[in-house]
Structure 1
């Protein structure tokens, strides 16, 4: 007998999944942890096989973070470009894991590097999604001073995604304070864009939140730690926080 969870229609036809670079490093503390990359690829594959069109933005903090480089005396623009290149490395790793599962993917970079990925052309990226390919956007927006959060909000709007899903490691939503430090932290089921900004809640940076608010794009924050969590969220199951107007 098929369970209700297995048969439930997905809530959205096209989504963008934002993953931090740190989510790919497992317990190593740095770099890529192949079993973790594989596990996340399986989560994405399960959703794609539901018929959902999926695109991804992956951070680069497991390899290099521009703000940290800048804080240590590196020129900010150079540091940010180095961070963008780190996201390309993560995107290629995820592409390899997804294609090992038999899925068709495209890595599309905001910084042209034709030997390893496609340059960003909006219409081409949309067409890849329509052909049921998983699109992985790399190199942020291609500009310094913008985070991968902002890149995620930008690409989600350009691709006409129905929601941004923020896959977190170590937390299953948005809390009033860090639950890893404060046992009495309270999780929000729903919160508005304005509350995220006014209360300085850790969802996305202010530019990304403002862009999502302007275009009424919901943000769903959930945990990537639980197996099947990504698929469950799209079926209305699981624990998460919904950010909307």
Structure 2
């Protein structure tokens, strides 16, 4: 019996920095990092063109520090640098697993990674390389949701996969409300009208305007990325 084929040819994977913590309270858990790299390799080996955006919340959260008195723009720039650290860690794990990878940063730092250049990123994808977009948009007052939406549109992605700690979008936080139910599918307008906090409103609007579906799934389950990519497993689709 042949394995099911991926439903999308080119995708962007957006995941929070907290995913890389594993069961730790801070930083990067190397076992989790290697497991995520293995899951990504499985998708790349299936012929999918893949780019990534990873947050920096496992290292530094600009919004929370700004809330405690730090000037917001400076706090956000520090958060962007944290995403570069996570991107470099992911690059190392992926290349150890045999996946050719490039990191492109919206804040130029030529000594450690490439600057973000759209045509160069597209060329990397065409050659089968994974491209990790770091440092957000290079501007404060945005979370990593908006750059994930923007890069997926710029790269011509067929879908944006959001890897989280839960297996989809729920009516309430399933960790706090046992009666919360999972949505199989939602419209962009449903998400905005119900303020479901899947992604920032600006990111949802950008996905709606470009007709790029969002697939929300649990990335903490080993092998789940490929499973969801082929239409199996549990997830919520927003389109």
How would you bin the TM-score normalised by the shorter chain? over 0.9
Aligned to 1:87: 83
Distance in 2, Cα, partners of 1:64 & 1:93: 15
How much does 1:146 deviate? 1.1
Distance in 2, Cα, partners of 1:241 & 1:63: 28
Distance in 1, Cα, partners of 2:220 & 2:55: 17
Distance in 1, Cα, partners of 2:220 & 2:91: 20
Distance in 2, Cα, partners of 1:196 & 1:103: 35
> Secondary structure at 1:188's aligned position in 2?
coil
Aligned to 2:21: 25
CA RMSD of the aligned region, Å?
0.7
**Is the counterpart of residue 114 in structure 1 residue 113 in structure 2?**
no
Aligned to 2:180: 185
Contact 1:174 1:202 in 2 (8 A): no
Q: List per-residue Cα deviations over 1:51-108 (Å, max 9, x = no partner).
A: 0000000000001111111101000000000000000000000000000011100000
Distance in 1, Cα, partners of 2:6 & 2:61: 34
Q: Which moved more, 1:193-202 or 1:126-135?
A: 193-202
Distance in 2, Cα, partners of 1:112 & 1:79: 18
Distance in 2, Cα, partners of 1:83 & 1:226: 26
Number of matched pairs: 239
Q: Scaled by the length of structure 1, what TM-score is found?
A: 0.96
Q: Scaled by the length of structure 2, what TM-score is found?
A: 0.99
Q: List per-residue Cα deviations over 1:32-51 (Å, max 9, x = no partner).
A: 11100111111100000000
Distance in 1, Cα, partners of 2:47 & 2:177: 39
Runs of 4+ aligned structure 1 residues displaced above 2 Å come to none
How much does 1:120 deviate? 0.4
How much does 1:202 deviate? 2.4
TM alignment of 1:35-50, pairs within 5 A: 35-50=31-46
Residue ranges of structure 2 left out of the alignment (5+ in a row): none
Aligned to 1:104: 100
Q: List per-residue Cα deviations over 1:128-165 (Å, max 9, x = no partner).
A: 00000000000001110111000100000000000000
Q: List per-residue Cα deviations over 1:180-234 (Å, max 9, x = no partner).
A: 0001101000001111111111210111001101111100000112221000111
> Secondary structure at 1:187's aligned position in 2?
coil
Aligned to 1:12: 8
Residue ranges of structure 1 left out of the alignment (5+ in a row): none
**Is the counterpart of residue 54 in structure 1 residue 50 in structure 2?**
yes
How much does 1:8 deviate? 1.4
Distance in 2, Cα, partners of 1:236 & 1:102: 26
**Is the counterpart of residue 125 in structure 1 residue 121 in structure 2?**
yes
Contact 1:111 1:142 in 2 (8 A): yes
How much does 1:123 deviate? 0.2
Aligned to 2:64: 68
